[in-house]
Amino acid sequence: MTETSVLAPVVPVSVGTRTSWWATADAVYRLALARGRIARGPLLFVATLQSVGILVLLRGVVRHPDRATSAAVVAGGTILVVAFVALNLLAQRFGAMRTGRSLDYFAALPVPVSAVVLGTAASYATFTVPGALLTAVVGAAMFGLPFEQLWLVVPAVAAAGIALSGLGAALGLSLPRVELATVAGQLGMTVVLFLGLIPPGHLPAALRGLRQAVPSTYAVDVLAAGLRGSATPGGVLWRVAASLAYGAVTLAIAARAFRRAVAS
């Protein structure tokens, strides 16, 4: 093909700056919160009931658990609330946005795509906080664990939210169909359930390695240490940092999948 020259004089217009990362994430966060307003209550109820139910079941099965086992179980059950929403539901949400062409709206705006993904993911992670708090309190009471370091549920939920929602977004944006995103999200949640709830000392060596590769493990360990009353600032910080690193990588993958999904 030979390129034709421009016949008419072009009217030049200068391009302004891109909308800032934080302003974008904030606007998208509020947009996603508004969307979740109706479904949030029932879904959170289901997520919390599921985790509390598992804790009740385990409390009945294990007669005299040691403190480490109890702390691991309660921490795993608490982070499961985050996994249900930030991994499972978010994968479905991004899958639906992909197939419903909602991504076009954002792609046609001068905004950083990673901020769109994070804003949406953060809104989902936010509404897990009450359920996770309730699960942790009920679990600690059931298993007779100390409440002094229960505040660690806040950084633990934040860390798990960051690590898992990035993964949920990446799954939803990468897979070509909502059904596949749903299956992938539920499989991911199952992995978090088993490897988060079972105390690391009870796992075979091979699964212990796999446990370390699961993004939510670091959040589970932060909370478990708090429930044992043995959390240290250094231990909390490095585990939160590990979750942040996971989140950054999965967010970058999700942003790339976003651009590919729009262009497809």
Partner 1 sequence: MSGAAVVVREVTKTYRDGGLVANAGIDLEVGAGEVFGLLGPNGAGKSTLVRQLVGLTRPDRGRIEMFGHDIVAGPSVAGHLVAYLGQDEPALLDLPVHAAVATTARLRGESRRAAAAEATDLVDELGLTAVANRPLARLSGGQRRLACVASSLAARRPLLLLDEPTAGLDPVARREVWAAVARRRDAHGVTVVLVTHNVLEAEAVLDRVAILDRGRVIACDTPGRLKAAVSDDVRLDLVWRFDPPYDEPTVAALAERAVVTGRRWTVRLAADEARAALGRLTSGAAFASLDDFTLATPSLEDVYLALGGRDDDLERV
Interface residues with partner 1 (CB under 8 A) are: 1, 3-4, 6-13, 15-19, 23-24, 27-28, 30-31, 34-35, 37-38, 97, 100-111, 262-263
Q: Which of the 8 DSSP states describes residue 6?
A: P
Shortest distance (Å) from residue 119 CB to partner 1: 10
Token pair belonging to 239: 């585990």
Shortest distance (Å) from residue 9 CB to partner 1: 5
The answer to whether 203 and 211 have CB atoms below 8 angstroms apart is: yes
The answer to whether 148 and 137 have CB atoms below 8 angstroms apart is: no
Token pair belonging to 138: 């009920």
Shortest distance (Å) from residue 93 CB to partner 1: 12
Q: Which of the 8 DSSP states describes residue 64?
A: S
Shortest distance (Å) from residue 14 CB to partner 1: 9
Round to whole Å and give the CA distance between 222 and 261. 35
**Residue 24 CB contacts under 8 Å (≥ 6 apart), including other chains:** 111, 112, 115, 116, 119
Shortest distance (Å) from residue 165 CB to partner 1: 18
Q: Which is nearer to partner 1, 23 or 241 (CB)?
A: 23
Q: Which is nearer to partner 1, 20 or 190 (CB)?
A: 20
Q: Which is nearer to partner 1, 16 or 233 (CB)?
A: 16
Round to whole Å and give the CA distance between 47 and 261. 29
Token pair belonging to 230: 């043995």
Shortest distance (Å) from residue 145 CB to partner 1: 40
Q: Which is nearer to partner 1, 12 or 60 (CB)?
A: 12
Q: Which is nearer to partner 1, 12 or 233 (CB)?
A: 12
Shortest distance (Å) from residue 120 CB to partner 1: 10
Q: Which is nearer to partner 1, 10 or 205 (CB)?
A: 10
Q: Which is nearer to partner 1, 98 or 239 (CB)?
A: 98
User: Taken in order 22, 33, 137, 71, is the CA torsion positive or negative?
Assistant: negative
Round to whole Å and give the CA distance between 58 and 70. 9
Residue among 69, 247, 73, 263 at smallest CA distance from 160: 247
Residue among 97, 95, 82 at smallest CA distance from 43: 82
Round to whole Å and give the CA distance between 9 and 90. 48
Shortest distance (Å) from residue 122 CB to partner 1: 16
Round to whole Å and give the CA distance between 186 and 172. 12
Q: Which is nearer to partner 1, 84 or 106 (CB)?
A: 106
The count of C-alpha atoms lying within 13 angstroms of the C-alpha of 204, restricted to the half-sphere facing its C-beta, is 2
